Structure 1
């Protein structure tokens, strides 16, 4: 039995998803990026208003992972039309985010979120999934590679005022 459940997020879930987004990004990048850049990035990219908009967008799928006991938010995934991933083609979708709190790593939650994202992407008619990942995040890169993704491009991505090197990954669906 798992200690979590997955469900489609609603606009009312936007604050909870934003909290997980902010906590997991901070956990991952504290000590890697400047704190001021992390805070600026989170304010711009992971606000409740952004998640509210994505949850209402019929071209996007926001999935919330909740702990089985008490239904606390512990992870999420977000599919959107592609943005900032370089050259795209008809049938592409972007896995914009797939985050879990660190204490949930190793529980199978990440693979479950990935399987759900792939199923949801196919249901939307997507034929290829793209995502961007910080080049220095070896753990995330290994996760994506285990799930059939391969690097197709590189990009520069701004976090706060700092430019970061990212890889763009793709996987056929």
Structure 2
């Protein structure tokens, strides 16, 4: 991912939230998500040059159609030897076209090549579509759960793991 990709990545991420999380999170929160602010957050993070974080984009016909981000697993403020898939989003108009699968496989490949022994990720407990997607790719819920608060509403997340 380059700084020039940030506006499109932000649009995909926010479009993904609005599509996948409708009915799972407060709608006013989803409606208030701001693509410009999100793009700036991505640009700022890229400029910091965190070498442990890898951002991948997938292109379709020369345009960014998906984004994945992975790096060291975060246990609170501590980074561990495991890898974590921080984000995986595909343009909602491209769901089911293999872009998410390709991004996930490349992230997993890179995590294995970097010497991580497993990849962890967090997914909303009620996001059955995403949970099935990760399960088809060999991830399994490992029993860990955390509350995620959005505008005063608790939205539980479950952790998935895949051995490398």
The TM-score normalised by the length of structure 1 is 0.81
2:94 aligned with 1:101? no
2:130 aligned with 1:140? yes
* Structure 2 unmatched ranges of 5 or more: none
Calculate the aligned-residue CA RMSD, in Å: 2.4
Measured in 2, the distance between the counterparts of 1:32 and 1:12 equals 31
Partner of 1:80: 71
Q: Post-superposition shift, 1:53?
A: 4.1
Q: Post-superposition shift, 1:82?
A: 2.3
Which SS does the other structure have where 2:65 is aligned? Answer: strand
Which SS does the other structure have where 1:81 is aligned? Answer: strand
Distance 1:53 1:148, change over 3 A: farther
Aligned length: 160
Which SS does the other structure have where 2:73 is aligned? Answer: coil
Distance 1:92 1:39, change over 3 A: farther
Higher strand fraction (1 or 2): 2
Which SS does the other structure have where 2:23 is aligned? Answer: coil
Measured in 1, the distance between the counterparts of 2:82 and 2:29 equals 30
2:144 aligned with 1:151? no
Measured in 2, the distance between the counterparts of 1:134 and 1:154 equals 10
**Which digits, 9 at most, give the CA deviation of each residue in 1:114-172, with x for residues without a partner?**
11111221233322111000011111001111111111211111223321111111111
Which SS does the other structure have where 2:14 is aligned? Answer: helix
Aligned mate of 2:4, from 8, 12, 30? 12
Which SS does the other structure have where 1:120 is aligned? Answer: helix
Partner of 2:42: 51
Aligned mate of 2:105, from 80, 95, 115? 115
Measured in 2, the distance between the counterparts of 1:27 and 1:167 equals 19
Measured in 2, the distance between the counterparts of 1:122 and 1:106 equals 25
